[in-house]
A and B are shown apart, each in its own frame.
Chain A
Amino acid sequence: MNSSNSLRKESDRHKSKSSLISILSRPEIGPIGVMILLFGMLGYFSIPASETTWNPFAGEGFNALGIRNNLRVISQLGIIALGAGLLIIAGEFDLSIGSMIGFAGACMAMILRWGFSIIIPYVYFDDGAHIEFYTLLHISDVSPILAIFITLCFTLTFGWIQGFIIVRSGLPSFIVTLGGLFFLRGLTEVSLRSFNHRPDQAKGATTVTEIPDIKNIINLPGYGEMEREAAKYLPDGDLLSIVKNLPSDVIYKITERLEYTFQRVAEAKTNLLIAKGVKPLEKALENAVASDNEYMIKTIQEKIENFKIDPVIPKSVTEIDIARAYIDSIGTSRPIADFFGGNILEPIFDWLYFPIDWNVNNFGNQFAPGLYSCVMIWVILSLVCYIVLSKTQVGNWIYSTGGNLSAAQANGVPTNKVKISLFIFSAFCATLFATCQVFEVNTSDAAKGNLKELEAIAAAVIGGIVMTGGFGTVLGIIVGAFIFGLAKEAFFYIPGVDGSFYRVFLGFVIIASALLNENIRKRIMGNI
């Protein structure tokens, strides 16, 4: 027997990788590479052709408004991708997420608009049988928290029913949740049409409009609760009396800020006027160059150099301006609506405008007020999911339920409870998505969330989740949502390329990721 051979242990066959290789062979590394590439593409292509700069933050993709809008798309997708992804790790998947978003949004919007009733129909025998309705309960002015709670009761119950049917019957989740997809979308349309028979709504429409802007209801001292916009257009006399009651340091701060804004607006106007005046001259110069008229070229060049315009004088700050700025600065009196539909990081974006002078649009005003709240909700949800999946007992249960169901059961893991809970969680994520949307835009539409279930699954797969279950990380799901959202935006900016090419690109990425994931899974399973 060869003695050197006998010293080799089974474990020697592992552990021979260097740390660099082991980092590069982590499953997240491919998706992270694609994500960085897309960041670069979005930054580079969104810089206007007229500007020569390498600063990616100069372009439309990553200016203040670009960051705000892109992060909104990414985080909305990220929220539902977490629900879809965790469920896939446990070996099931949910096609009803998109319809659930539509249903939850419509449900919440209807409750906010018309209130909530429990009505019991019964048959009444008098002059033949006919159906009467008994109103057991009616709440006409439902607070945001109650509307969310009632909606959650419906959606979570539906999630539970889907999960229950799947674990009890052993049917594939594909078919049961496909049923859920049609059922919920239909139910949403039917109920919206039947409620839209009132004179103040378009008859038979599948939308709910004219919900008050709840997140912007403020408590104006001396006037009570009202919408911010209404408060800003109170009669001048009222606005002046508001200013009179303000402490002087508040007035000073507001005035300082307004003077800065007006200064910026005036500068922007001046620049626009200069551009307007110079543009025809530049055109003339082009013609002159084309016709090779040296005298003309010289004259026009001189004219352009000497072109001057009197700078626009900044508007002076009036007390009405101060009153309106003050009303803008009052905090909401509906914190729950603001939590879901408002803005976050407002002080930072404010600071980026004054005094940092970055968050400025072409007209000199502040560009983005902050990030959408859904970004914060995504971050919180991701953190919770990360801790649960990788640090808790439930996490181990989720992995084993999807990885080897019979092994999990043999070791006493309550796999049915795990699966049902994750169907409920998926419904919860869809409801969160809908809640953010309803409170952001104050409308709802039966078509909301269409195809979102597939986008969520795609993001999860791109992020390294294996469709057969048992494998994947929360970090991967986050990266997947980034890739999906960034691709959508980046392709829009590539000159001469149809924006829909992002779908072609994502198609490639999805298949490539699925192949890669399967390869990693097989390597771990010992089949390679």
Chain B
Amino acid sequence: MVTNLIPLIETQDIVKKFGSFIALNGVSLKVYPGEVHALLGDNGAGKSTLIKALSGVHQPTSGKIIVEGKETKFNSPRDASEVGIGTVYQDLALNSLTSVTRNFFLGRELKFGKGPFGILKMNKMHGIAIEEMAKIGIKIEDPEQPVGTMSGGQRQTLAIARAIYFGAKVLILDEPTSALGQKQQMEVLKTIKKVQQLGNIAIILITHNEIHARLIADRYTFISLGEVIGSGTSKDLAGDDIRRLMAGGAEVGDLAKELA
């Protein structure tokens, strides 16, 4: 793993208030290319608000978002995707009723001629969809297959491949393993590993699962009640630290005592 000195994306003291509620209270983090950055924290810690700020859904109340050394402001998700931030939400933004290819190119179809009535270049799109998914480890036989008939892991791969193909340099994965079975979770982790090996993409992985994080993450940031309560590389942190910080700083040992 190579760590460049310039982070692909960096946040400095991001504050986000909803009325009187402070969702984020000065969050800073740095994500480097070729790295999986695990963002960990309990429910309601502010992880979702943070990734929504990074992907342009929410505008931060104060603080800076710096992409490749340049400060940027996102007024819409479109702005964020234009500078190369691709977010794969839990629902994956896939239409189960249509084919793999139609989903892969949804909203960005290749076509002959200009305007929305342009005829689709179906064969070319089939080829690209198969190729891009193969790059990160899933081979599909039939690009006409409806997405609904694919496994959860394959769908995740489709969504990730799509984000990368359309120029994502920073890939934000929102709990990609949470709704999956054991085997498919492993498939998704393999996919993330493949993306990591591409070397030029920074991955922000939001997860609840300490084991998954430890399997693939290079760097950790722990959030609790809107603040960063700890961070470090996988070398710096021991297993107990991770577990303690994930629970919002409470000692698991204390819990064990209480339960005993």
Contacts and interface: CB of A to CB of B under 8 A. Distances in A.
B120 A403 contact: no
A14 B141 contact: yes
A521 B149 CA distance: 11
A403 B119 contact: no
B96 A404 contact: yes
A394 B148 contact: no
A23 B78 CA distance: 41
A385 to B, nearest CB: 12
Interface string A511-528: 000000000010011100
Contact of A412 (B102, B107, B148): B107
B141 A521 contact: no
A392 B77 CA distance: 25
Given A10-B151, A393-B120, A404-B96, 19 more contacts: A11-B139, A14-B141, A391-B119, A394-B117, A396-B105, A397-B107, A399-B97, A399-B102, A400-B102, A400-B103, A403-B95, A403-B96, A407-B93, A410-B89, A411-B107, A412-B78, A470-B97, A526-B96, A526-B148
A525 B96 contact: yes
Interface in B149-199: 149-151, 153-154
20 contacts: A10-B151, A11-B142, A14-B145, A14-B149, A388-B117, A391-B119, A394-B117, A396-B105, A396-B106, A397-B107, A400-B98, A400-B103, A403-B97, A403-B98, A404-B93, A407-B91, A412-B108, A470-B97, A471-B97, A524-B146
Contacts of B98: 396, 399-400, 403, 470
B127 interface: no
B117 A392 contact: yes
Contacts of B153: 10
Contacts of B139: 9, 11
Contacts of B108: 411-412
A15 interface: yes
A466 to B, nearest CB: 8
A383 to B, nearest CB: 14
Interface of B: 77-78, 89, 91-98, 102-103, 105-109, 111, 116-120, 122, 139-142, 145-146, 148-151, 153-154
A11 B149 CA distance: 10
Given A14-B149, A393-B117, A397-B116, A524 B97 contact: yes
B111 A392 contact: yes
Contact of B142 (A15, A399, A412, A413): A15
A399 B89 CA distance: 21
- The residue among A14, A15, A404, A470 with the most chain B CB atoms within 10 A of its own CB is A404
B96 to A, nearest CB: 5
Contact of B97 (A393, A397, A521): A521
Contacts of A397: 107, 116
Interface class of chain B by DSSP: loop
B95 A399 contact: yes
B220 to A, nearest CB: 28
A274 B96 CA distance: 70
B142 A14 contact: yes
- The residue among A9, A14, A387, A411 with the most chain B CB atoms within 10 A of its own CB is A411
A525 B97 contact: yes
A404 B93 CA distance: 8
A189 to B, nearest CB: 38
A408 interface: yes
A241 interface: no
Given A392-B119, A393-B111, A525-B148, A404 B142 contact: no
A406 interface: yes
A521 B146 CA distance: 11
A365 B22 CA distance: 87
Contacts of B78: 412
Contacts of B122: 391
B96 A396 contact: no
B245 to A, nearest CB: 31
Contacts of A396: 98, 102, 105-106, 109, 120
Contact of A407 (B106, B117, B151, B154): B106
Contact of B94 (A391, A392, A407, A471): A407
A11 B158 CA distance: 14
B117 A524 contact: no
A391 B113 CA distance: 13
Contact of A408 (B92, B95, B111): B95
A70 to B, nearest CB: 33
A207 B89 CA distance: 57
Contacts of B107: 397, 400, 408, 411-413
A25 to B, nearest CB: 12
A393 to B, nearest CB: 4
Contacts of A395: 120
Contacts of B145: 14
Contacts of A412: 78, 107-108
A406 B90 CA distance: 12
Nearest to B110: A393
A9 B142 CA distance: 14
A393 B109 contact: yes
Contacts of B118: 392-393
Interface in A398-429: 399-400, 403-404, 406-408, 410-413
A396 B108 CA distance: 10
Given A391-B119, A394-B117, A406-B93, A11 B109 contact: no
A11 B95 contact: no
Contacts of A407: 91-95, 106
B93 A411 contact: yes
A526 B95 CA distance: 12
- The residue among A392, A393, A403, A408 with the most chain B CB atoms within 10 A of its own CB is A393
Nearest to A468: B97
Nearest to A10: B151
A10 B117 CA distance: 36
A192 to B, nearest CB: 38
Contacts of A408: 95, 106-107
A411 B106 CA distance: 6
Interface string A372-391: 00000000000000011001
A400 B106 contact: yes
A5 to B, nearest CB: 11
Given A10-B154, A14-B149, A404 B94 contact: yes
Nearest to B119: A391
A471 B147 CA distance: 13
A464 B149 CA distance: 19
A215 to B, nearest CB: 31
A77 to B, nearest CB: 26
Nearest to B106: A411
A386 B162 CA distance: 27
Contacts of B142: 11, 14-15
A9 B139 CA distance: 9
Contacts of B103: 400
Closest 9 CB pairs of A and B: A411-B107, A403-B95, A410-B93, A412-B107, A407-B93, A403-B97, A404-B95, A525-B148, A411-B106
